[in-house]
Structure 1
Amino acid sequence: MIPRMQWVQDNAGESNGTPPQPRSGHSTVSVGKSMLVVFGGLVDKRFLRDTIVFDTENKLWFEPECTGNESDGQAGPGPRAFHVAVAIDCNMFIFGGRSGRKRLGDFWMLDTDNWQWTELSGYGDLPPPRDFAAGASVGNQKLVMYGGWDGTKWLSDVYVLDTMSLEWIQLPITGPSPPPRCGHTATMVEKRLLIFGGRGGGGPIMGDLWALKGLFEEENESPAWTQLKLPGQAPAPRCGHTITYGGTQLLVFGGHGTGGWLTRYDIYYNDCIILDRASVQWKRLAINNEPPPARAYHSMTRIDSRFLLFGGYDGKSTFGDIWWLVPEDDPMAKTAPLSPRSHLSATKNSEQNQDSSFVDAKGTDKDFVSPLRELREKLALPVEAVPASEFNIHDESIDREFLSLAATLVPKEFDKNPEQGILVEALREYWKNSAASSIRLHELGPLLRDYHRLIYRLQGHGMLESMELHNKSNNSALQMHRFYHLKNANQLRMDDIPHLLNEYKQLLNLPLASNPPYPDQGSQFGIL
């Protein structure tokens, strides 16, 4: 059974020493049994080169005095972010990354027994320079690296390094393979390399999962990719996320995605989703309290039964906060408040413009005009404007578009002047019995606003404390509120409509959903 977990912010004396400064695009690897090594990163468009260590036994942050080969007059690699970092035994290997606009192709090793850097760039034929690649250790002697971005194209090559001979080999693979990508994750599970997510050719953000076999010579397997399509609540497509392997589960946290139908915008996630190897399916991890702010390009590292989150970027801010994700019976959990969630979205999404220092949105036209938007204009339907600040939820009595649409469903001979309550119930009953394919374009705005109303009222009655509602028909957890952050129907995509309608129907089936939280039917109320 997967235990419930709890977030604890490390600001109450859980560790000593000086933690790393805020950053994103850094690496954090677990070396030996008691050390986490943080290297590099980016903050305010400034690339970093420092090495910071967390001693997990003594709960102490410190910066070691490193020696060895120099770069720019200092020991160790030059400043960089979005590089590959892999730990094998007591050594941390660093390859590539980005510094300014330059993609790097140098290769370094840090021996943590004596804190000595050694440049290994002169050994063998190195892979081409790249950033946003991903790598993992293969047993205790090899490392594997997949994909990345070389400044002109996305990559799909696989390189394997033997750390004893320092020989790089590009793995020959036949058959189907993942689309080229960057910003993905690479995780070794038993004798398979799992690749998830990333940004691909043309700019789309992906949510596919692939497994690579043939990395262990003793298995006598030809290298080959297999796409895994698993049941359950799979993560939304994303890049810049982390996958942390622990026990029988792989934990997915955070990342960056895109949303919108008529206008495109960035989404940053703070959800926790696990790939449960026991049941071979995706599951939402049960969390007791408010998660950290949404982010991408952070690091997440496992220490026994705990997970340590550090840094990241949300499209506007670079984080330096440190969080622990611990089982609810962990002594550390007692220090964390069980605060109610301040937002109702299943993942708190930050909708910000992406910083130019991060992955360029290749193939994304900033002047993109949706065909649907043009269609709305040709039909003389209003194109909803996004308010400059937070949006408000209006009561049905002052939602004229909602009431006008409802009036078309009540026969005039039945009631020439139907009461508002009859109109509201008629429209909700109509949507409750409608298929997604029958929803017309001009219905989307009123439908989304009523969806907002229902969620707000249920929360006002204390019925939405959990971010997962349960489908009584099969007792399976149902993901809800994924569209609560949308300000208007212009941000919906065509394939969002069936999911929005399904969530709306589920909300209608809950008691008190259609009852306003206050007796004043004419008032307007804001989102918490």
Structure 2
Amino acid sequence: MNNRALNQGGYFCLLGLIFLILILGTSCQFRKAYPEARHGAKMIFDPVGNKILLFGGRGENLTGGKLLNDIWVFDSETQDWQEIKTSSPPTSRLSPGFVYDPSHHQVILFGGYTNKGRLADTWLLDLDEYQWKEIHPPHSPPARSDMGMAYDKSNQVVVLFGGYCLENQRDYCDDTWVFDPDLNHWIEMNPISSPPVMYGHSLNYGSFKQQILLWGGHMSIMDQGRISSAGYNNSLWSYSYPNNQWIELSPVNQNKPSPRYWHQAAYDSEIPGLVIFGGDGGYGFLADTWLYNPVLNSWEKIKFLQPPPARTVGSLVYSPDDEQIFLFGGLNEDMESFRDTWSFTFNEGGNWTMISGN
């Protein structure tokens, strides 16, 4: 073989190598990262960074999926997910309390479910440095998961109600607790009356009347010394921290969401109103969207041509900067987890849009 043939062969090999590098580089450039499929995760909106944070949950399916303790950030402008590495993260878990504290630019985490049982730990996540810190208040709520927990912006405290508790610590889980971020301590409120014993309900701060709103949940009763199901709830309650008072609300219309638990809920401060999506109704998972309007004190069902697939224990959060609600993950009726991202807006009567698929 002459030198010219060798040179031509080397030339074509070089061209092939360059082409391969370009192809691989292009494919890597457009390969986006997403959180793995999960349910029982929690999301908050960070207005300082205009980002949505996703934490924890259980991956893959209801029984075989691993528990998670990762943090992902969603940028609604670029519609990209990015994993954030944090220092000294808490134990992997699902269905904890997870709320944003704007007065200290931090996340407050409480409890949740692990493979070794339910937890009663309290953690703070510094959103400037993304550093976790466990704190040890002198008094804390008993271990639990699937509680309702929300930040009361008008009073700058965290309100917690109910949840799935450890039976050997508290037979009934209908307790109300408040966490003060300035003092880093919990206090049990012991109001005169409370919503029923329940777990899997939602708790959201309603800015219109500056109150905590509770909806849905799986109710329980004590029957012959054992806790038994009392069905699903579809009543709406409000809690006033200054008055330490729960009040069951009576919307003016009879048309309201069917009883359920493990639904997805977020409060839209622009409308304003409480948005409910999906959940477990006992006879199947749901894919309906409802709005509770506190101005009119009424429920309205929002109808769509293509809503997200039916699910339960997904993650829902409102972004005031985008005036949109974002949904991630959840569990389908085959007991497998989603990894899809959706946005919801009330433009033109309401619309769901899929951002990324499963």
Of 61, 78, 86, which residue of structure 2 is paired with 1:66? 86
* Aligned-residue offset at 1:301: 1.5
Whether 2:125 is the aligned partner of 1:106: answer no
Change (3 A) 1:129 1:290: same
The one-letter amino acid of 2:276's match is V
Whether 2:57 is the aligned partner of 1:41: answer yes
**Residues matched between the structures, number:** 298
Normalising by the residue count of structure 1, what TM-score does the alignment of the two structures yield? Answer: 0.54
* Aligned-residue offset at 1:61: 1.4
CA shift digits 1:349-373 (9 cap, x unpaired): xxxxxxxxxxxxxxxxxxxxxxxxx
Question: What SS class does the counterpart of residue 258 from structure 1 fall into?
Answer: coil
Whether 2:90 is the aligned partner of 1:77: answer yes
* Aligned-residue offset at 1:328: 4.8
Residue in 1 aligned with 2:5? Answer: none
The answer as to whether partners of 2:308 and 2:352 remain within 8 angstroms in 1 is no
Change (3 A) 1:16 1:185: farther
Residue in 1 aligned with 2:311? Answer: 295
Q: How does 1:141-180 map to 2 (within 5 A)?
A: 141-152=156-167, 153-174=171-192, 176-180=193-197
The answer as to whether partners of 1:232 and 1:283 remain within 8 angstroms in 2 is no
* Aligned-residue offset at 1:123: 2.5
* Aligned-residue offset at 1:321: 1.1
Distance 1:31 1:25 in 2: 20
The answer as to whether partners of 2:264 and 2:314 remain within 8 angstroms in 1 is yes
Of 317, 323, 330, which residue of structure 2 is paired with 1:305? 323
* Aligned-residue offset at 1:112: 1.1
The answer as to whether partners of 1:16 and 1:59 remain within 8 angstroms in 2 is no
Residue in 2 aligned with 1:256? Answer: 280
Residue in 2 aligned with 1:29? Answer: 44
Question: What SS class does the counterpart of residue 63 from structure 1 fall into?
Answer: strand
Question: What SS class does the counterpart of residue 145 from structure 2 fall into?
Answer: coil
Of 286, 292, 301, which residue of structure 2 is paired with 1:269? 286
The one-letter amino acid of 1:224's match is Q
Q: Which runs of 5+ in 2 are unaligned?
A: 1-29, 221-227
Q: How does 1:412-431 map to 2 (within 5 A)?
A: none
* Aligned-residue offset at 1:35: 1.1
Whether 2:233 is the aligned partner of 1:212: answer no
Of 227, 230, 234, which residue of structure 1 is paired with 2:256? 234
The answer as to whether partners of 1:273 and 1:284 remain within 8 angstroms in 2 is yes
Q: Which has the higher helix share?
A: 1
Distance 2:65 2:149 in 1: 24
CA shift digits 1:207-263 (9 cap, x unpaired): 1111112x13xxxx3x1221112124211101011221112121110110113xxxx
Residue in 1 aligned with 2:140? Answer: 126
Distance 1:142 1:257 in 2: 32
Change (3 A) 1:57 1:335: closer
The one-letter amino acid of 1:136's match is A
* Aligned-residue offset at 1:48: 0.8
Normalising by the residue count of structure 2, what TM-score does the alignment of the two structures yield? Answer: 0.78
* Aligned-residue offset at 1:154: 4.5
Distance 2:354 2:213 in 1: 35
The one-letter amino acid of 1:229's match is S
* Aligned-residue offset at 1:177: 2.0
Residue in 1 aligned with 2:74? Answer: 54
CA shift digits 1:146-186 (9 cap, x unpaired): 10111324411111011011111101211x32111000001
Distance 2:293 2:36 in 1: 34
Residue in 2 aligned with 1:318? Answer: 337
CA shift digits 1:371-418 (9 cap, x unpaired): xxxxxxxxxxxxxxxxxxxxxxxxxxxxxxxxxxxxxxxxxxxxxxxx
Distance 1:333 1:185 in 2: 21
CA shift digits 1:78-115 (9 cap, x unpaired): 11001000101221111000012500111111111111
Larger Rg: 1
Residue in 2 aligned with 1:479? Answer: none
Of 205, 215, 218, which residue of structure 2 is paired with 1:199? 218
The answer as to whether partners of 1:28 and 1:37 remain within 8 angstroms in 2 is yes
Change (3 A) 1:335 1:38: closer
Q: Which has the higher strand share?
A: 2
Runs ≥4 in structure 1, deviation > 2 angstroms? 55-60, 151-154, 326-330, 332-336
Question: What SS class does the counterpart of residue 155 from structure 1 fall into?
Answer: coil
* Aligned-residue offset at 1:326: 2.9
Residue in 2 aligned with 1:458? Answer: none
* Aligned-residue offset at 1:296: 0.5
The answer as to whether partners of 1:31 and 1:88 remain within 8 angstroms in 2 is no
Distance 2:91 2:312 in 1: 23
Query: RMSD over aligned Cα, in angstroms?
Result: 2.2
Distance 1:323 1:126 in 2: 35
Residue in 2 aligned with 1:20? Answer: 35
Distance 1:37 1:151 in 2: 28
Q: How does 1:400-419 map to 2 (within 5 A)?
A: none
Residue in 2 aligned with 1:225? Answer: 246
* Aligned-residue offset at 1:65: 2.3
The one-letter amino acid of 1:64's match is I
Change (3 A) 1:32 1:232: same
The answer as to whether partners of 1:49 and 1:77 remain within 8 angstroms in 2 is yes
Question: What SS class does the counterpart of residue 233 from structure 2 fall into?
Answer: strand
